[in-house]
Structure 1
Amino acid sequence: MKFWLGLILGALILGAIVFLSGCDSGGERKEIDLSARISNADLRKLAQAKKDVDVLWFGFDLRAGPKEDARQYIPFLKYLQRSTGYRFNLRFTPKGGSIANELGRGVVQFAAVGAGTYILAHAKYGVIPVVRGLNSQGKAQYRSVIVVRPDSPIRKIEDLRGRNFAFGSITSTQGYLIPGIILLKHGITLRDLGSYRFTGSHRNCAKAVISHRFDACGMQDTMGKKLAKEGLLRIIYTSKPYPSSGIAANRDVPSVVLSRVKQALLDFQPKGRDAAGLYNWDKTEMPRGFIEAHDGDYAELRKWAKKLGYIPDINPETVP
């Protein structure tokens, strides 16, 4: 981003030179106070631009846990840094905070988010979809699974009526929105459950069932399958595929920056050229890289989200 700041400063300097050269060479030479020709407002804008240029903040929806997620994203951000020339910092959303709000309000410029978080942030702030992740089969989709303990008498979704159910994060697509769709399609609302709780992450959701605190949970299919293979959980239902997690941008990110970052994401080859240095990238929701994302990809999920009260039916907020 330093290049476009340089263009602004260069244009100001060039303007001053042209002005000076246009003076009558035979007349009295005038002294020009350049500081008087740049308003305080312009100087503040330049200072803010420099600040924005120096660091791009990257946030994320919590998946496994803060430490594990950070280990995965930090090498990935180093790739983006090498590919774009911009410096990226990873930001942890504070407890009780929302990555949808942080992305919408410009606390972070980019974020790895699930479809549900994107839908919410787009509805409220007009955030921009950039790319969607490709799963291990090379498809830009994912599923949720409903899991129980291996010895549980629960065999089908209808058996969950009156049971204690754990979700992941309240903003999670695979951990809340899709499981909510599954339950509703089988005639079960939250009121029909014995109790329910948002545990904050897929890993916490699984632990809540394994530890006998809850009877079942809805979670990420990749992690659910792994835990089922290890004999810790049993899958009783797998959802249809929905648009995968991806990366979204704050709507005020300069177009030249957005374009350069998007191209770097589309060029990302985690199974080939860019594999060196990555940490457990095959366990993420984008193990084979990315494809371009469009808002229309989320039309079906958006309808369900409104039906379930996941998002309000509002116009994008005007963000100062």
Structure 2
Amino acid sequence: MRVSTGKKMILATLLFLAFQSPVGAQSEVRELTIGLLPEMNVFRQMARFRPLGEYLTQETGLAIHFTILSRYGNLVESFERDAMDGAFFGSFTGALAIEQLGVVPLARPVNLDGESTYHGLIYTRKDSGIRDVADMRGKRFAFVEKATTAGYVYPLAYLQERGVDDIGSYFAEYFFAGSHDATIYAVLEGKADLGASKNSVFDWVSSRDPRIAEEIEVLAFSGKVPSNGLCVRADLDTEVKDRLKQALLNLHETSEGREVLEKFHALRFIETAVDDYQPVFHWAERAGIDLKHYQYVNQ
């Protein structure tokens, strides 16, 4: 059967509209880009956050897109350059972003130990013979990054308060491993004599590798600072902020949400405010860091 030219045109128009309508509907869904710090191996990090992103997309109607920063440094530049809407900042990067970008904290997770905070740790191998700061002289120290509380700011303040004003001359070598788990393994494998990380990652890695508890001992630990929380840019639409915040705070109330939390290694999310970062401002001051003008750039 032959189809007339007029009917062909009508059919083509209907097919065009049929395919265009879903795209048009999708284009109305607001996309949000949320940055993630590389505190763990990138594959572990994405495996942890992907279920959360899918859940938030489903619950809020917002298309959540996570992007993992290659390094901790350049955070302020990356946030602005990549037009991020928010990020799961660490305690130091959160304090830095509050001071320099005016971001608004929304919520942070409660860890499996029931804490919504973490400690900084300084550790060594049990067979290193290192017991105090005097023993650390001439050793190799592995930090995480210059933009972390547990992995740099806390140990720097700890050392300065004990008379170590120049880590470059006090240690035979110091370097930045780039992530908390990489720093742990640098010490475990003998690439460094000392390391500093956050206890939440230390505990998580230890639960999967018994060698860490068997071969590494903690020499010092800091006071509490807030766990990595979601902060968003100040000019983000108020309704969008509220939808994100409520979705996180209500996560533990459904069976599906609890499954997401299990994969995220958390019990629930709680509300977070600027005041929660006061301990970080304190540690930065003790380490001689001016957050307002801190311009750390990765080399």
Q: Shorter-chain TM-score: which interval?
A: 0.7 to 0.9
Residue in 1 aligned with 2:277?
298
Residue in 1 aligned with 2:86?
110
Percent of aligned pairs with the same residue?
26
Instruction: Name the amino acid aligned to 2:223.
Output: K
Q: Indicate whether 1:222 and 2:205 are aligned.
A: no
Aligned counterparts of 2:281 and 2:176: Cα–Cα separation in 1: 21
Aligned counterparts of 1:207 and 1:180: Cα–Cα separation in 2: 20
Instruction: Name the amino acid aligned to 2:151.
Output: G
Match of 2:268 among 289, 307, 314: 289
Say which one has the larger Rg: 1
Say if 2:37 and 2:71, in contact at 8 Å, map to a contact too.
Answer: no
CA drift of 1:152 comes to: 1.1
The 3 A distance-change label for structure 1 pair 156 and 273 is farther
Aligned counterparts of 1:232 and 1:96: Cα–Cα separation in 2: 28
Aligned counterparts of 2:35 and 2:216: Cα–Cα separation in 1: 30
Q: Residue 52 of structure 2: SS of its match in structure 1?
A: helix
Mean CA deviation greater in 109-118 or 99-108: 99-108
Aligned counterparts of 1:102 and 1:60: Cα–Cα separation in 2: 11
The 3 A distance-change label for structure 1 pair 92 and 242 is closer
Q: Indicate whether 1:147 and 2:123 are aligned.
A: yes
Match of 2:62 among 83, 86, 93: 86
Aligned counterparts of 1:149 and 1:300: Cα–Cα separation in 2: 29
Residue in 2 aligned with 1:249?
232
Unpaired stretches in structure 2, ≥5 consecutive residues:
1-25, 295-299
CA drift of 1:236 comes to: 1.9
Residue in 1 aligned with 2:139?
163
Q: Indicate whether 1:276 and 2:276 are aligned.
A: no
Aligned counterparts of 1:257 and 1:123: Cα–Cα separation in 2: 22
Q: Residue 111 of structure 1: SS of its match in structure 2?
A: strand
Match of 1:212 among 182, 190, 196: 190
The 3 A distance-change label for structure 1 pair 244 and 237 is same
CA drift of 1:249 comes to: 0.7
CA drift of 1:160 comes to: 1.8
Aligned-pair Cα RMSD in Å: 2.7
Structure showing the higher strand proportion among its residues: 2
Mean CA deviation greater in 271-280 or 136-145: 271-280
The 3 A distance-change label for structure 1 pair 150 and 157 is same
Instruction: Name the amino acid aligned to 2:136.
Output: L
Aligned counterparts of 2:212 and 2:254: Cα–Cα separation in 1: 24
Aligned counterparts of 2:30 and 2:272: Cα–Cα separation in 1: 26
Residue in 2 aligned with 1:262?
245
Aligned counterparts of 1:235 and 1:105: Cα–Cα separation in 2: 39
The 3 A distance-change label for structure 1 pair 270 and 69 is farther
Instruction: Name the amino acid aligned to 1:119.
Output: A
The 3 A distance-change label for structure 1 pair 130 and 96 is closer
The 3 A distance-change label for structure 1 pair 270 and 196 is farther
TM-score for both structures, normalised by structure 1: 0.73
Say if 2:73 and 2:147, in contact at 8 Å, map to a contact too.
Answer: no
Q: How does 1:231-242 map to 2 (within 5 A)?
A: 231-242=214-225
TM-score for both structures, normalised by structure 2: 0.78
Aligned counterparts of 1:155 and 1:52: Cα–Cα separation in 2: 60
Aligned counterparts of 1:125 and 1:72: Cα–Cα separation in 2: 27
Match of 1:54 among 7, 30, 33: 30
Aligned counterparts of 2:60 and 2:103: Cα–Cα separation in 1: 21
CA drift of 1:62 comes to: 1.1
Residue in 2 aligned with 1:194?
172
Instruction: Name the amino acid aligned to 1:294.
Output: A
Say if 1:165 and 1:216, in contact at 8 Å, map to a contact too.
Answer: yes
Larger relative contact order (Cα-Cα within 8 Å, sequence gap ≥ 6):
2
CA drift of 1:279 comes to: 6.5
Say if 2:224 and 2:279, in contact at 8 Å, map to a contact too.
Answer: no
Aligned counterparts of 1:140 and 1:195: Cα–Cα separation in 2: 34
CA drift of 1:181 comes to: 2.7
The 3 A distance-change label for structure 1 pair 101 and 269 is farther
The 3 A distance-change label for structure 1 pair 96 and 241 is closer
Aligned counterparts of 1:246 and 1:74: Cα–Cα separation in 2: 16
Aligned counterparts of 2:277 and 2:121: Cα–Cα separation in 1: 20
CA drift of 1:184 comes to: 2.7
Q: Indicate whether 1:122 and 2:104 are aligned.
A: no
